[in-house]
Chains A and B, each alone.
Chain A
Amino acid sequence: MTEEEKLKRFNALIEQDEKIEPKDWMPDAYRKTVLRQMTQHAHSEVIGMQPEGNWVLRAPTLRAKKILLAKIQDEGGHGLYLYSAAETLGMDRSEMIQQLHEGKAKYSQIFNYPTLNWADIGAIGWLVDGAAIVNQVSLQRTSYGPYSRAMVRICKEESFHQRQGYEIMATMMNGTEAQKEMAQDAMNRWWWPSLMMFGPSDKDSWHTQESMQWKIKRASNDDLRQKFIDKTVDQAYVIGLTVPDKDLKFNETSKHWEIGAINWDEFWNVVKGNGLCNHKRIAHHIKYHNEGQWVRQAVLAYSEKINAMQSATSL
Chain B
Amino acid sequence: MTTKEALYNYVLRLADDNLILAQRLAEWCSCGPILEEDLAMTNISLDLLGQAEDFYEYASELNGEKNVDELAFLRSEREYFNHLLVEQPNGDFACSMVRQMLYATYAKHLYEALLKSRDEKLVALATKGLKEVKYHFRHSSEWVIRLGKGTAESNLRAQNAVNELWRYTDDLFEMNATDKVLITQSIGFSLKDIYPLWKAEILHVIDAADLAIPELGNVITGGINGMHTEYLGHILAEMQFL
Indicate whether A77 reaches chain B with its CB closer than 8 angstroms: yes
Indicate whether A295 reaches chain B with its CB closer than 8 angstroms: yes
What's the A-B contact tally at a CB cutoff of 8 Å?
111
The complex places the Cα of A296 from the Cα of B34 at a distance, in Å, of 8
Find the A residue at minimum CB distance from B50.
A66
Indicate whether A233 reaches chain B with its CB closer than 8 angstroms: no
Surface stretch bound by B, among A30-38, A132-140, A297-305: A297-305
6 new A-B contacts, CB < 8 A, other than A288-B30, A292-B32, A298-B150, are A58-B238, A60-B242, A69-B42, A288-B32, A288-B33, A296-B34
A77→B42 contact, CB < 8 A: no
The complex places the Cα of A76 from the Cα of B42 at a distance, in Å, of 10
Scoring B residues 23 to 60 as 1 if CB is less than 8 Å from chain A, else 0, what string do you get? 10011011111111111001101100110110010000
Point out the residues of chain A lying under 8 angstroms from B69, CB to CB.
60-62
Number of interface residues of B (CB under 8 A): 42
Binding site secondary structure of chain B: helix
A47-77 contacts to B (CB < 8 Å): 49-50, 53, 56-63, 65-66, 69-70, 72-73, 76-77
Indicate whether B168 reaches chain A with its CB closer than 8 angstroms: no
The complex places the Cα of A292 from the Cα of B93 at a distance, in Å, of 8
- For the complex of A and B, the 4 pairs showing the least CB-CB separation, nearest first, are A292-B33, A298-B150, A298-B154, A295-B33
Known: A62-B69, A292-B32, A297-B151. A76 touches B26 (CB 8 A): no
Interface size bracket, A side: 35 or more
The complex places the Cα of A288 from the Cα of B34 at a distance, in Å, of 9
A302→B49 contact, CB < 8 A: no
28 contacts between A and B (CB under 8 A): A49-B38, A56-B26, A57-B26, A57-B238, A57-B239, A59-B242, A60-B73, A62-B52, A65-B49, A69-B29, A69-B42, A70-B46, A72-B30, A73-B39, A73-B42, A73-B43, A76-B35, A83-B35, A284-B30, A288-B32, A291-B31, A292-B33, A294-B153, A294-B154, A297-B153, A298-B154, A301-B154, A302-B149
Point out the residues of chain A lying under 8 angstroms from B241, CB to CB.
58
Chain B CB within 10 Å — which of A66, A69, A298 has the most?
A: A298
The contact of B34 among A69, A77, A295, by CB within 8 Å, is A295
The complex places the Cα of A53 from the Cα of B72 at a distance, in Å, of 20
The complex places the Cα of A94 from the Cα of B71 at a distance, in Å, of 44
Find the A residue at minimum CB distance from B29.
A53
B50→A80 contact, CB < 8 A: no
Indicate whether A186 reaches chain B with its CB closer than 8 angstroms: no
Binding site for A on B (CB under 8 A): 19, 23, 26-27, 29-39, 42-43, 45-46, 49-50, 52-53, 56, 68-69, 72-73, 92-93, 146-147, 149-151, 153-154, 157, 238-239, 241-242
B34→A66 contact, CB < 8 A: no
Point out the residues of chain A lying under 8 angstroms from B42, CB to CB.
69, 72-73, 76
Point out the residues of chain B lying under 8 angstroms from A301, CB to CB.
150-151, 154
Indicate whether A79 reaches chain B with its CB closer than 8 angstroms: yes
The complex places the Cα of A291 from the Cα of B49 at a distance, in Å, of 27
* A59 CB to nearest chain B CB (Å): 8
Point out the residues of chain B lying under 8 angstroms from A297, CB to CB.
150-151, 153-154
The complex places the Cα of A3 from the Cα of B32 at a distance, in Å, of 45
Indicate whether A228 reaches chain B with its CB closer than 8 angstroms: no
Point out the residues of chain B lying under 8 angstroms from A298, CB to CB.
146-147, 150-151, 153-154
The complex places the Cα of A57 from the Cα of B50 at a distance, in Å, of 15
The complex places the Cα of A79 from the Cα of B34 at a distance, in Å, of 12
Known: A49-B29, A299-B146. A76 touches B49 (CB 8 A): no
Indicate whether A118 reaches chain B with its CB closer than 8 angstroms: yes
A104-150 contacts to B (CB < 8 Å): 118
Point out the residues of chain A lying under 8 angstroms from B73, CB to CB.
60-61
